[in-house]
A and B are shown apart, each in its own frame.
Chain A
Amino acid sequence: MSSIFYKTIAELSAMLAAGETTSVEITQAVIDRTAAVDDKVKAFLSTDADDALAQAKASDERRAAGKAIGPLDGIPVGIKDTLAVKDQPLRCASKMLENYVSPFDATCIVKLREAGAVIWGRLNMDEFAMGSSTENSAYQTTGNPWNLETIPGGSSGGSAAAMAAGEAIATLGTDTGGSIRQPAALCGVVGMKPTYGLISRYGLVAFASSLDQVGPFARTVEDAALLMEAMLGKDPLDSTSIAPQGETNYAEALKEKKGPWRLGVPREFFGEGIDPEVKANIEQAIDWYKRQGCEIVDISLPHSELAVPVYYIVATAEASSNLARFDGVRYSHRSEEAKDALTLFTKSRGEGFGDEVKRRIILGTYVLSSGYYDAYYLRAQKVRRLILGDFENAFEQCDAILTPTSPTPAFKQGERSDDPLAMYLSDIYTISVNLAGLPAISIPSGFTESGLPIGLQVIGKAFGEAEMFAVANAFEQGHNYAQQTPTL
């Protein structure tokens, strides 16, 4: 944990303030580490060391002039390839956007820059964020740094793997059905998805607009809280963004909120399909909270087994509509066989999209098509309301909910590639949170016997990030999992 690239934002910002290091030194360490290990990990699709070092130099000059901005000033943050960064490639790990270079910054990037962060690299992902293993990238397969033969999770697999490998101090991902939390759990780092609307989606390539959220990966809960504070807020460029409610000085609040809390444990999440080692680990974590004086409340989320079908109807329907913009006309791949208007669309899309994206476009088009809309899409929207109702009822009895993040640890590459349904079930514990628009965080909770990380999910009330962070922080402080790093 002594290497500079494995330090936390909190540690580095204190060192920067004390003049013990510089942003150039930190950024160079991250660049060198990436050069040393990324041939194996393959977390990054591209990097721009000169651009990162120029930002770092600007940060050091600010600090020297007595104008340091705050804890993120000078900290290198890696970015998932679905978020727009001015003058950097934005490919969503798809051939469809092979030559796209973003002309603008996403709002969350603007806010990170305003906080002084160094924007660093383009991180691999499942194509258009569709997947749970990062194997759907059109460019490369990312390895899990804890065992390179296994997957890092997905869709933000590059963002999680880069953290575990020390290739960034923090990273950004996006979470539509678990795409931050599941890879965070599988790579042994912290990953957090905010309340829907808390961070602007402007500059995020849309997959399923009613579910997509940007969020941080970090080494500690405190670091995730610092990143959230910098990025949140209503944005005139995203009409679904919402002004924060309640406590938003999350990092400060961590030090004050000590519990004890009433913690709900949904019995439905410990049944069929859960790996026995994961189950035992999460039960131990729950027991730890109990020993700290928390009240453990047995709760029920009776519609949770319907979350996966509801999600794959709602998300694919929205995706089929959102991805209609990739038509070969303005900025996406264009087929050389395009002869007229129709083949311009069909051939360009057929060549540009990979298998999983095609699968979801077909599924989404089908559930919205004439004669099937009521049976699938409308029905799914109604069940979505029931899922939200389950959470509302549960939160009358508890302050936060504890669950496993993923039913299994990281699986072998290729193991589920030909079984989309098995892959979809990887997100069974994370999906309902997106459907209900709630915040949730995954934190490291231990390891399997074979040394693969396990993650504990803490689900908060809508806009209840401060409480959720505090509950997660308590566990982190009581254990040393956040300090453990893989051997590469």
Chain B
Amino acid sequence: MSETPHIDIDYVANLARLDMSAAEKAKLGSQLDDILGYFEKLNAVDVEGVEPMAHAHRVFNIWREGDEPGETYAPEVLTKMAPEQRDNQVVVPKVVE
């Protein structure tokens, strides 16, 4: 993080499965580099021995109590939002050769 930070947008966009135009990438690129530059502030603080914090409260091992079957949905209720559906199933483009 010592050099000027820079995001390789093509590489990261592929990781994020996100299609963007060349114009979008160009605009985003300079903005993101500014933001990463701002993140450099974090290097000024000593975090040696500090426990990372993922959550506001120390809660662990949350078990479900009495996991009884409850209200459920008819298949057509949940599949009707799919962009394409047939016989209560979600249709997708062909994914195997």
Contacts and interface: CB of A to CB of B under 8 A. Distances in A.
Interface residues of B, number: 47
A379 B47 contact: yes
Contact of B56 (A210, A347, A349): A210
Contacts of B34: 420-421
Interface string B31-75: 110110011011001010011111111010010110000000100
B18 A242 contact: no
| Size bracket of the A interface | 35 or more
B19 interface: yes
B38 A309 contact: yes
B18 A349 contact: yes
Contacts, number: 157
B84 A369 contact: no
Contacts of A344: 92-93
A421 B38 contact: yes
Nearest to B31: A420
Contacts of A351: 19
Contact of A197 (B17, B35, B57, B81): B57
A341 B13 contact: no
Nearest to A437: B56
Given A103-B77, A340-B94, A366-B7, A358 B52 contact: no
Given A312-B35, A320-B16, A197 B56 contact: yes
Contact of A329 (B12, B52, B82, B94): B82
Interface in A362-389: 362-363, 365-366, 369, 375-376, 378-386, 388
Given A333-B83, A379-B42, A363 B92 contact: no
A384 B16 contact: no
A353 interface: yes
B26 interface: no
Given A344-B92, A359-B32, A380 B42 contact: yes
B15 A365 contact: yes
B87 interface: no
Interface in A177-200: 195-197
7 contacts: A242-B59, A330-B82, A340-B94, A346-B17, A355-B24, A363-B7, A386-B45
Minimum-distance CB pairs A-B, first 9: A437-B56, A350-B19, A334-B83, A381-B52, A331-B81, A382-B47, A196-B56, A346-B19, A385-B53
